[in-house]
Amino acid sequence: MMRPLKRKTMEAFVRILLSLAIAVSFLASPDCVWAAQKESSLKTPVAVRQETPDDAEPEIIARVNGEAVPRAELRRMVDNPLTLQQAQRELRVEEPDRKELERLAMRKLVHLRLLVQEADRRKIRITQKELDEAITALRRRFDDLKDFGMWVRQQGLNDPELFETVRTDMLAERVTAALVEGVSVTEEQAQQYFEAHRDDLIIGAEVRLRIIAVSNKAEAQEIMATVQKGEPFDRLARRRSMGRLAAKGGDTGWVDFQALSSPLREAAVELKPGDVGGPFEKGPAEFLIVGLQDRRPLRAKSLAEARPEIERRLLSAKQQEVVQAWLAEQEKKAKIEVFIQSE
């Protein structure tokens, strides 16, 4: 079983281990320019050489400036849950097909190679001590070495491959950090964002909910289906809810968002006013159907109070733009060969 990793323990490393989160959150560009310098995206086929070159090893499925990309890396990337999540966001489909996942995975692997090659040009190095500390931090997330070893095997890695994967990802993150160094949010940009998003920048919030509480999940699912068919929520609450609010049709009145229990906070975040969701599990024998009637801010933030949050929101987008622009330029300059058939 895995244990949560302490925040201060190799904080940067957590974002990159075997998930290539750099490629997922920072480096994913909807356009990909390959050896022929033709644009491609998730929605169109990448420019690939479908034949396998005579001089290519059977397990090599691409080369980036002559550096090989093994098939095993593509398989690991395709099977990575973060690759699926990114494809779902970009394609807006629940179940992207295998070819779409392979295109996205290949693009991310190419980006990773370009970043590591840039690390070499910049003479960025990972010391053995840093690598050992990163591996140790990962190992401490598991109860024992047996669990850790099982997890490594599930990733399709042996020990040398694990060390190389971690080293590669650390190099990529350091190059990314160097690329975005100095990127900042101007006062004018902060002011414009503040004016456009005043309603989102608040201190505290109140919500008004309707709740139906029942003792088992099956009954909660049945009630949820009935609500979706148009049965009035308050009528169902009076008849079926075991909660103290049943007599009021499940109406909570206005309540402080922070005072809500965990499942109710989850519902209040997920739902829009007028929506109903669930079942949400509150305990072993309590399941909730929750309707969000409305929400309201307690107090709007001033620009000074909102500035840190504005910077967090804007800075990530600005950094992503910088990295994507750099990758696009590198793709134009690089010799990128992809010579696989879809698996």
Order of strands, edge to edge, in the sheet holding 202-214?
251-256, 202-214, 286-300, 276-283
Q: Determine the Cα angle at 133 with ends 132 and 134, to 5°.
A: 90
pTM for the full predicted model: 0.58
In whole angstroms, what is the distance from residue 286 CA to residue 279 CA? Answer: 10
CB crowding 114-149: b at 16 or more within 10 Å, else e: bbbbbbeeeebebeeeeeeebbebbeebbeeeeebe
Per-residue pLDDT of the chain (343 residues; tens, 9 = 90+): 444 443 333 333 334 343 433 333 333 333 333 333 333 333 333 344 444 444 444 489 999 999 999 998 998 888 887 788 888 888 888 888 888 899 999 999 999 999 999 999 999 999 999 999 999 988 888 888 888 888 888 888 888 889 999 999 999 999 999 999 999 999 999 999 999 998 778 777 888 999 999 888 888 899 999 988 888 999 889 988 887 888 889 999 988 887 888 888 888 888 888 899 888 888 777 888 999 999 887 788 899 989 998 998 899 899 999 999 999 999 999 999 988 654 4
